[in-house]
Structure 1
Amino acid sequence: MFLTAPIPGIEELAAAGIRSFESTLLAANEIMDALGDPGIHMIGIHGMGGVGKTTLAKYVMIQVKEKSMFDEVVMVTVSQNQSVVRIQEEMAESLGIDTKQESITATKLYGRIKSAGKILIILDDMWGRLELSEVGIPEDDERCKIILTSRSLEVCNSMKSQKNVLLGVLSPEDSWKLFEENTQSIARDVASECRGLPLAIVTIGRALIRKGKTDWEAALDQLRANVPENIHDLERMLKRLKVSYDLLEGEETKSCFLFCSMFGEDVEIDVELLTMYAMGEKFLKRVNSLQEARKRVKFLVNKLKASCLLLEGRSENYVKMHDVIRDMAIYIASDKKEGCLSKVCSGNQCWNEADDLKECRRLSILGEYNNTIILPEEPPECSQIHTLVLEEIKNIPDNFFEKMTSLRVLHLINIRMSRLPASMSHLKDLRTLLIDDCRDLNDISILGDQINLEVFRLGDTALEELPESIGKLINLRYLAPLFNYLVTNKQIRIPPNVMSNMSQLEEFHMDSRVTPWESYILEEILALTKLVALTIHLGDIEYVKATRHMEFKGNLERFSIHISQNPSWYLKSSRLKNLDLRGSHLPRWVIMLLGKTDALILKDSISPHLDVWVVISNVWSILN
C-alpha cells in the first residue's frame, strides 16, 4: 500500500499542516500495511516528543474511516499518570455509552467492544505498560486492533506490539518547507537549528511572524547557544522551544502561559479557572472587576493559541496544552532565574525534594489513580508560595498551612476531610479559594478569618449551611456555593445577615435545586449595589411575593433566574440572560429585568392581568 495524497494538518500542527514529508509518509505506509495484515493485532508508533506521533495517529484514524476498514474507531489519551477510570470513560463516550446514566466497568466495556465488530483502538501518549484487561480491552482478538503511541520503544515492547514504527525527525528540506508555510519571511538558519522537530518549527515560526531582523537574529543566537549533542536530549529540546516563550510580548501573557502548566497532563484547561487563579495572584494590571479579568484572560489565551502554545479545547471555554509544550512551561517555571519557580508533582515525589519548596512560588500536587497522596506531618517550608493546588489527598494535617503566609490562591480537589485545617487561619493574604469534590467536608467556619478573600467557589461538599462567619468576608467579589444535590440530598441554608455584609460582591451563583430560600435572603441579594451577575432558582412563590415592591440596587448584566414551583426542572442555556417564570406573579424587580432578558420562558399559570400582558408585549417588542 502506498499513500500519495498529502496528509492534512490535524490539531497540534494544524496551523502548519503536514504535507508529503518523507519520514511521515513512510511511517504512515507501514502502519496502513500492518493494519491490513491479519497476523498483526498491535502496532506501536514511537519517536521523540513533538515529532508528530499523535498527528500521525489521527491521520491514520481518518484514513481507515474513509476506507471503511473498521466498524468502530476509538482514540483515547493515556498520558503519564494512567487513570483507568478516565480511559474507560473516554472510550465509553466514543462508543456511545452514556457515562452519566451508568457506571463503566471493565466487564461492561469489554462486552461493548466485543459486540462492535471490527474495531480499531488508538492508545495515545503511553508512558508505561497498561493492563488492557483492567480497562476492558480484549487481547488477542482478531477483530480488535490496537495502535499505541509512545516516546519509548521499550513501552511498545512491554505491550508486546507486533509491529513498531519509528517516526523520525524531518529532513532539512522538509523542515524548511514546514517552516516556510508558517512564516512570511523565513531565515533558513533558524529552520535548520530546529533540528527537524515539527513542534519546534511551528511554535518558533509562529513566534517570529511579523518580527524584525533583530528578533530573528536574537532567536538564532539563542538556538545556536543550545545546539544539542544528542537530538533526544529533552532539556536541549526544551531550551530550543523556549525561544517561542521568550518572544511573547508582555509579562501577563507569559504568566498566563506558565499558569497553564499547573494543570494535569492532557487535561482540558478551564479558562474560567484560569481567570480565578489570575484574580488571586494579581498579575493582571489595571483590572477593576471580574468581568474585566475574564476579558483580559480570554485575550491572553487567544494570543497563546495564535502562537501555537495552546490548542483549541472542546469548546471556546477550554484550551489544551501539548505535552511537550507543557514540559517546556514546567522547565521554564522551575528555573529560579525566571523569578517564578514552580513545581508540578505527581504522587509523593514533592516531599522527597523538600529543599526545592523553600523558594517555590507555585505548587501543584496532583494525585495519581489509586495512589492517594499522604502529606507530611510537619508543615513544609513554603513561605514564598503564592498558588497551591492539591488533588487526591488523603487528609490535610491541621498544621499544614502554618508556614505558607504568602499564599494567595488555594485550590483543593477531592480531599478527604470533614473540616478545613486550623492552620488556614494563617493565610491572611488568601484571595482565591476553590473547593471541589471534597464530599466529606461539613465545616468551613474557619474561613471567617480570611477577610481578604475575593473569590470563593464551593462545590460538591457535605455542607448543610453556610456558616455565619462567611458574613465576615466583606471583600468577597465572587461567591458560588454550587452544592451537588446528588452528594448531600439535603437542604442548604443561608443564615440571615450573611449576604448583606458582602458589599463588594459582584457575582453570586447558586444553582442548587434544593436550597430552601427565605425572603430575607432574596431581600439581601436585591440590596447588593455592586452585583452584576446572578444565578438563582426560586421555588417558593410566597417569599417572591414578599419582595414584590423591591428593586435591584445593583446593575445586573448577566443573570439566570428561575422562579418555579417545580424543583425538578432546570433551564440549560448558553445565553447570558435567562428568566423563567412558572406558576408565579411578577414582582417589581422581575419587571425591571424583563427589558434585559434574552430568553423569557412563560408557562402554565401566568395571570392574564392587564399590566402583566403589557409588560410581556413590551419585552417581545424589545426582543424583536
Structure 2
Amino acid sequence: MVGLSDIPCVGKNVDRISDAAVDALFRGFSYMFSYKNHVQVLETEIQKLDAEMDRMSRKVREEKDNGKMIVDGVSTWQADVEEVKKSAEEILEKYKNRSSWRCIQWMPIPKPVSRSRLGREAAHKAKRVIELSDSANNLLANGIAYGSPAENAPNTVYQTFKSRSDAYDKLWKALVSEGGSTVLGIYGMPGVGKTTMMESLWKEALEKKIFDKVTRADVGNEDLDVFKLQKQIADHLDCHLNPEDDEQHRASQLKKRLTNGEKILIILDDVWKEIPLHRIGISLGDGDSSTHRKILLTSRKKRVCMDNKCLHPVKIAPLGPEEAWQMFRNTVVPDNIYLLPDESLALEVCNQCGGLPLLIHAVGKALQFTSPDVWKDALNQLVMGNFEKIADIDSNVYACVKLSFDRLPDDAKSCLVLCSLYPEDASIYINKLIPLATGSRLVRGGEARIRSMVEILRSSSLLLDSEDHIIKVHDLIRDVARSIAVKDPKYSFSLVRCGSLLPDDVDYHTRKFLRLHLEKNDILFPDGLVCQDLHNLWLQCNKHAQQFLGDFFGMFVNLRFLLIEDMLFSLEPQFSLRPLVNLRTLILDGCEITHVSQTNASFFPENLVALYIWNCDLPRPLNLPILKHLRKLEIQGWRSNNIQMVPNTVSSMPSLQELHIPGGYKIQDDGCGKSLDAVSAPILGEISKLTGLKSLQMFFFSNSEHFQDTNIFGNLLQYNISVGAKPHDRPLIESSVSIKRLIELQGSGLESLKGLIERAEEVSLDCTDIHVGSIYNSNREAFTDLKNLYIRNCNTIEYLARISCGEIQHSRSFANLGVLEIKDCSALKYLFSKSVAKCLVQLQELAIVRCPVMEAILMNEGTSDRDGVISFCKLKFLSIYNIPRLKSFCMQNKDLHSGSTTHNSAISNIQAQPLFDKTVCFIYFIIIFNSNIIKICLV
C-alpha cells in the first residue's frame, strides 16, 4: 500500500512535519515531567551570573578608580543582566508559590499545561543566563576600559576688559572667517595676559564648535625639539606617532592627519623664534589663506610673529588704572579690602603692579586674608623693586620676566639694566642713554648699536609705548632688570640713598656702577675707602649743594665715567674735578656751575674724551682748559642758549671729532671784554682748525660774507647746521627716522653751503635765494638722501626740479623724500616735472600754502600723457591752501599761464576742470582744501 511519504515532493515535507511534531511533543513532555529540573538549572545559572556580575562590578570600579573610561558594552550587559534576573525571579517565585497542580483535588492527576509552561520558561531563561555569563567572560577577556583622552579644553577663567575687547574681537573674527590669514599672532610683554586671551579664544571656539579639533603645543625658549612639538600636536588629534620613525616620516604622517578634511586649530604658545613648520608637518598651503586650518601663536616679540608668517599680529597692552583695580579687588576679594583701615593702601599696592594681570593676580593672592602690616610690607617691597620678597608671592612672576631678559643679546641687556637706573615712570631720552651706555663701556658699538638694541627691546615688548625718541620701562620690567644688575657680577650695580653719610650696608669694594641718590647737602665720604673696581658713578643730587667732603677722590680714584645730575657746585675757590685723572666721560645735567671759572685750577679733568653739558647754568664766559684728548663736546639745553666762550676755546681741542652746540655760542672779545654779538667769523675760524671734525651741530648768526670758504664742512659725516634762524617747529607727522644730516638756512648769500644741501636728509630754506632746481641742474645725484624739505618765503623760484624723461631713468634724486612743505613762495608755478615726480615713491605728506601764481603741482613737459600714470602710493596727507590759480594737479607745459599777473575777471572765465585726472593715482590720503581754490572739480 502506498503512503503519503511515498509521493514525490510531498513525502519529504510530510516527514519533516511529522518529525517536528514528534520533537515538539517530546519537548512538551520533557517540560511537563522535568520542570523541576529546569527550574533548578535556572537557579544554578543565576548564581553563576551573580558571581560574574560581582566580578564585573569590581573590575568596573577598579578601572574607574584608575581614571579610565568604561566601554559602552559593559553598561548594556549590566542592564541586560538586571532585566534577566528580574524575569528569572518571577519564574522562581511562581515555582515556589505553586499550590496544587492537580486537575481534581482528591485525585493525583497533575496539571500538564501549567507544568509544561513553567518548564519551558525556566529552560529558555537559563539559556539566556548562560549567554550573559559567556558574554561577561568575553568582555573581561577583551578589556572593559580604555584610557581617557587628554583634556583638550582650557579651564582658565577669562576676565573681560573693555580695553581689550577690540583686540579680542579682531582675533575672533580672523579665527572664524573662512578666508583671511591662516596664522594669527598675539604679542606683548611678559605677564600681560597673552596666554589667557589665547585660551579664552580656544575655549569659545570649542564651545561654538568652530573647529572639529583643537591642538596645542608649548614651544618655549629652549632649542627646537621637533619630536616634542610633533607629539604634543598629534596627541590631541589621536594620531599615534612612532618615536622610532625618523623626523620626515613623522612629519608626513602628521601632515596627512592635519589635511584629512577636518577643521583644525593649531595653537603654538610661547614662541621665541621662527618655527620650521614644514619639519613638524604643518603646511600653510598655497598662500596665507586656508578654510580648514588656522594657527594661533603667542609671543613676546612682534618680530617673531611676523617671522612665522603672521601678517598682522595683535598687541596686548597693560591694563589701565580702573581695570587693574577691578581685577585686583576681585582677586583679593572685596571683604578683605574692607578689613583694612584705609582702602588707599590697597589702591597703592595695585598701582605698583603696573596693570600687569600676572603680577596683579600674584600679589592679590598673596595678600588674601592678611593683616594690614603684611600689606604695608608688600607695598614697601614693591616700591623698592623687591616684589619677589613679598611673602607667598608666586616665584613664576620673577622667572617669567627674567626669561625674557636672558634671551636678549648682551648689548640689549646692558641697555635695559641702564634704563633700570632711572626712577619710576621716567621718560628716558635715547640721546641721553647713548652717552650713558658708551661712557660706561657697557655697550661698545656706538650710537647705531644702541639704537638697534632699543628697537630689539621694543620688539621684545620690554618697553612701553612712547614716542620714538623716548624710552619708557614698565615698573615690573625695571625692577627685575635692576635686581639682575645688582646680583649679576657682570654688572655689579648698586643704587644707594644717603643723607649726610654713605650707608655702611653696601659692599662698595665689589661694585662696578654706583648710583647715589643724595638727600642732603655736603655728603661726607669716608676716608680710606678705595673702590678699585668702581668705574662708573651717577650722582643724583636733587638740587643739593655738594663740596665732596672727605676722601671723595680717594674713594673714586678709578672712575672712568661720571654723571652729575641736578647739583649745586661748591663755591670753594679751589674746588676741581681734576684729581679724577682716569675720568674719560663727564656728564653735567641740570647743574649750577656758574662759579667754576672763578677757580684758580681747572675744573675739568684734563684726560677727558667726552664732555656733555646739558641744561646747565654756565659761567660767562665758559673757559674750558686745553683738553688734548677730547673727542666729543656737547653743550645743549634751554639754559644753554646764551653761551659765551673765551677765544680759541674750541680750536684748542685738536682731537675733537664731534662738536654739538645746536644753540650756537658767542666769543668774548679779548680787547673790550664784551661778546661779539651776531658774528660768525670767529666761530668758523676756530672750527676750521678742527681737521678731524666728523660731526657738527651748530647755530650760526646770519652773516653771509663769512660763509664764502666752507671747505671745513666737506668732511662732515653728520651735521645739524642752522644759519640765521632757530630751528623751526616740525609740522605734520613727526619723522620716526633719526635725521643725521640737517641744514636750515635763512637769508641770502649762502650759496657756498650748497654742498651740505645736496647731501642733507632734511633741508629748510627760508627767505633765501638758493634754488633747489639750480642745485639739481648742476648735480643730478643731489638729494638722493633727502627725506624732509621745507621751503618758505623764497620768492624767486618758479619750480623745484625738472628733468626730461630720458635723463630720469637712472636717477635716485628725491627717491627718499617723505615730507614736502611749501609756503609763501610768490613766483612758484609748479613743483616738479612729471618725470621727476615718478621718483617720489616715498612721499607721505605734501602741503602747499599761499602760492598765488601756482597753476599745477606737476608739469608735463611733453605733449601727451604717454608717460603713463604716476602713483603716489604712500601719500597720506595732502594740504592745498590759498592757491587761487590752481587748475589741475598735473597739466601740460603749454597750458601754463605765461604772464606774471592775471586779473580776477580772467580767472573767472577759466573753464572748470578736474583737479585729479587720470594721470595721477592715490591709494589713501587726507585732503584739505579751502575756498580760494576756484572752479576746481574732483573726479
TM-score in same-fold range (> 0.5) = yes
The code of the aligned residue for 1:604 comes to: C
Contact 1:533 1:559 in 2 (8 A): yes
Partner SS state of residue 19, structure 1: helix
- Where does structure 2 lack aligned partners over 5 or more consecutive residues? 1-158, 168-186, 201-316, 351-355, 364-387, 667-676, 784-799, 802-812, 815-835, 837-939
Q: Residues 470-481 of structure 1 correspond to what in structure 2 (within 5 A)?
A: 472-481=626-635
- Where does structure 1 lack aligned partners over 5 or more consecutive residues? 23-53, 62-121, 126-145, 168-174, 180-193, 199-227, 288-292
Q: Supply the distance in 2 between the matched residues of 1:317 and 1:156 (Cα, whole angstroms).
A: 45
Contact 2:414 2:443 in 1 (8 A): no
Q: Supply the distance in 2 between the matched residues of 1:235 and 1:349 (Cα, whole angstroms).
A: 37
Contact 1:466 1:495 in 2 (8 A): yes
Q: Residues 3-402 of structure 1 correspond to what in structure 2 (within 5 A)?
A: 8=167, 16=194, 19=197, 55-57=318-320, 60=323, 157=340, 160-161=343-344, 232-233=392-393, 238=398, 241-250=401-410, 252-285=411-444, 287=445, 293-308=446-461, 310-335=462-487, 338-346=489-497, 348=499, 351-353=502-504, 355-366=506-517, 372=520, 374-376=522-524, 378=526, 381-391=530-540, 392-399=542-549, 400-402=552-554
Partner SS state of residue 501, structure 1: coil
Instruction: Select the structure of larger CA radius of gyration.
Output: 2
Q: Supply the distance in 2 between the matched residues of 1:123 and 1:345 (Cα, whole angstroms).
A: 35
1:411 maps to 563
The code of the aligned residue for 1:342 comes to: F
Any idea what the Cα deviations from partners look like across 1:387-437, whole Å, max 9, x if unmatched? 211121512224533321221221111112256983622222222211111
Contact 1:473 1:502 in 2 (8 A): yes
Residue 507 of structure 1 is aligned with which of 648, 658, 669? 658
Q: Supply the distance in 2 between the matched residues of 1:482 and 1:313 (Cα, whole angstroms).
A: 27
Q: How far apart are residue 4 of structure 1 and its match?
A: 8.4
Q: How far apart are residue 325 of structure 1 and its match?
A: 2.4
1:155 to 1:458, Cα distance in 2 relative to 1, 3 A: farther
Partner SS state of residue 578, structure 1: strand
Any idea what the Cα deviations from partners look like across 1:341-399, whole Å, max 9, x if unmatched? 211234539822354223221111235xxx55652254664342222111215122245
Whether 1:525 and 2:687 are equivalent positions in the alignment is yes
The code of the aligned residue for 2:580 comes to: L
Contact 2:618 2:640 in 1 (8 A): yes
The code of the aligned residue for 2:662 comes to: D
Partner SS state of residue 502, structure 2: helix
1:426 to 1:514, Cα distance in 2 relative to 1, 3 A: closer
Whether 1:557 and 2:717 are equivalent positions in the alignment is yes
Contact 2:566 2:589 in 1 (8 A): yes
Contact 1:258 1:333 in 2 (8 A): yes
Partner SS state of residue 436, structure 2: helix
Any idea what the Cα deviations from partners look like across 1:122-172, whole Å, max 9, x if unmatched? 9999xxxxxxxxxxxxxxxxxxxx99x9xxx999956545997998xxxxx
Contact 2:534 2:559 in 1 (8 A): yes
The code of the aligned residue for 1:603 comes to: D
Q: Supply the distance in 2 between the matched residues of 1:570 and 1:323 (Cα, whole angstroms).
A: 36
Residue 700 of structure 2 is aligned with which of 538, 560, 574? 538
Greater Cα shift, 405-414 or 512-521: 512-521
Partner SS state of residue 656, structure 2: coil
Contact 2:720 2:742 in 1 (8 A): yes
Greater Cα shift, 12-21 or 531-540: 12-21
1:482 maps to 636
Contact 1:532 1:555 in 2 (8 A): yes
1:47 maps to none
Residue 756 of structure 2 is aligned with which of 579, 587, 593? 593
1:449 maps to 605
Any idea what the Cα deviations from partners look like across 1:547-604, whole Å, max 9, x if unmatched? 412312552233222221x56x75558544332222231253x122121133333333
TM-score, normalising length: structure 2: 0.40
1:427 to 1:317, Cα distance in 2 relative to 1, 3 A: same
Query: Which gives a bigger RCO, structure 1 or 2 (Cα 8 Å, sep 6+)?
Result: 1
The code of the aligned residue for 1:343 comes to: S
Partner SS state of residue 304, structure 1: helix
Q: How far apart are residue 442 of structure 1 and its match?
A: 3.6
Partner SS state of residue 601, structure 1: strand
Q: Supply the distance in 2 between the matched residues of 1:396 and 1:477 (Cα, whole angstroms).
A: 28
Any idea what the Cα deviations from partners look like across 1:298-320, whole Å, max 9, x if unmatched? 22223334444x21342222222
Q: Supply the distance in 2 between the matched residues of 1:570 and 1:382 (Cα, whole angstroms).
A: 48
Partner SS state of residue 500, structure 1: coil
The code of the aligned residue for 2:426 comes to: V
1:437 maps to 590
Contact 2:664 2:698 in 1 (8 A): no
Partner SS state of residue 545, structure 2: coil
1:261 to 1:611, Cα distance in 2 relative to 1, 3 A: closer
Q: How far apart are residue 522 of structure 1 and its match?
A: 1.3
Q: Supply the distance in 1 between the matched residues of 2:776 and 2:618 (Cα, whole angstroms).
A: 43
- RMSD of aligned Cα (Å): 4.7
Q: Supply the distance in 2 between the matched residues of 1:4 and 1:436 (Cα, whole angstroms).
A: 42
Q: Supply the distance in 1 between the matched residues of 2:326 and 2:547 (Cα, whole angstroms).
A: 38
Number of corresponding residues? 434
Q: Supply the distance in 2 between the matched residues of 1:475 and 1:536 (Cα, whole angstroms).
A: 21
Partner SS state of residue 596, structure 2: coil
The code of the aligned residue for 1:449 comes to: P
1:395 to 1:160, Cα distance in 2 relative to 1, 3 A: same
The code of the aligned residue for 1:508 comes to: L
Q: Supply the distance in 1 between the matched residues of 2:401 and 2:765 (Cα, whole angstroms).
A: 56
Q: Supply the distance in 1 between the matched residues of 2:654 and 2:348 (Cα, whole angstroms).
A: 63
1:414 to 1:615, Cα distance in 2 relative to 1, 3 A: farther
Partner SS state of residue 351, structure 1: coil
Any idea what the Cα deviations from partners look like across 1:424-471, whole Å, max 9, x if unmatched? 2222222221111113544267344332422433422132233141xx
Q: How far apart are residue 296 of structure 1 and its match?
A: 1.0
Q: Supply the distance in 2 between the matched residues of 1:235 and 1:159 (Cα, whole angstroms).
A: 28
Q: Supply the distance in 1 between the matched residues of 2:394 and 2:492 (Cα, whole angstroms).
A: 19
1:419 to 1:258, Cα distance in 2 relative to 1, 3 A: farther
Partner SS state of residue 334, structure 1: helix
1:34 maps to none
1:156 to 1:254, Cα distance in 2 relative to 1, 3 A: farther
Q: Supply the distance in 1 between the matched residues of 2:570 and 2:483 (Cα, whole angstroms).
A: 36
